Structure 1
Amino acid sequence: GFKKIIDLIGGIEIDVPRPIYDPAYPTEDYGTIEVSFAAGRQWMDSERALIYARTRHADSDFGRNQRQQQVLMAIFQRIRDRGLLQQLTSLDDYTSALRGYVTTDLSRRTMLELASFARTIDDENILRYAIDSSSIVELSGGATFRVQPQALRRIVAQFTGEAVSTAGGE
């Protein structure tokens, strides 16, 4: 569904914040390939965007999470830039591209209302929250971790708009 939606909108533009090199990106046939992305703005087709969103050998799962959020925002921006939210008939194209990959109980009416609302959103006002590598404590046992309680409280407080005390070193 990811590739179908990006193909449907004609690709996306991504501003890669720093060079990425993955010498062992896994392929569908259980092999690996070498992939790299230069820093800077670049146009990506669905295949390239999928690799960008999935690669993690260059950094971590947290870096991958940030790239996935970046790709989702690029899809949203592309849909808005092309005026596709105003074309209510295109809603069927998007939902059919995702059929079989996404299940929802939203009615068609609710989807149309959400598409109408999305036209009014300024993407500068969209805030994203995530646990990153500075918020975790690694545990023994390899590749396991837990979030630091004070870091989680800080993220939740940012999300809810509550003030966060820094007393006591938190």
Structure 2
Amino acid sequence: MTTQDRSRIIGATTVGVIGNAVLGSAATDTTSRWYRRLRKPSFQPPGWVFPVAWTALYADMAAVVGQSLADLQEQGRNAEYEDLKKALAANVALNAGWSLLFFRGRQPGLATIEAAALAASSADLTRRSMAVNRGRGAWLVPYAAWTAFATVLTGTIWYLNR
């Protein structure tokens, strides 16, 4: 595999992750009257934490999964390559879906279920990346932890606002 091939795979992964981030951000409206009126738990981080955390986690995901995909293709592990691509696509779809369900759909209950699916998907993405390169894949552990936290946070908001 050439350096250009690796760059193409990593670039395509990055574009997909950035596209997801833009979609999720466009769907998020923390200034809406609906959102401001929601009761929130005491453990909810301040609003400025979310864009900082998500930006770092998306960059991490793009780098780790992009490198993992390039490694798999380079090693001729085509089935694992295809499976990781599908896992990434599912993860980014779930990630953007949460913002759409919660902020646009105003459905915290459905968003909680979707967040749980995202947390499971994030753990799977981490597992798959660690199978390619354990040390590099471990960099996805914070992403999996953050999505698990997001599930608890969303579920608590749902509970407080039933």
The two structures share one fold, judged by TM-score above 0.5:
no
Structure of higher RCO (CA pairs closer than 8 Å, 6+ residues apart):
2
**Which has a greater percent of helix?**
2
Instruction: Name the structure where strand makes up a greater proportion of residues.
Output: 1
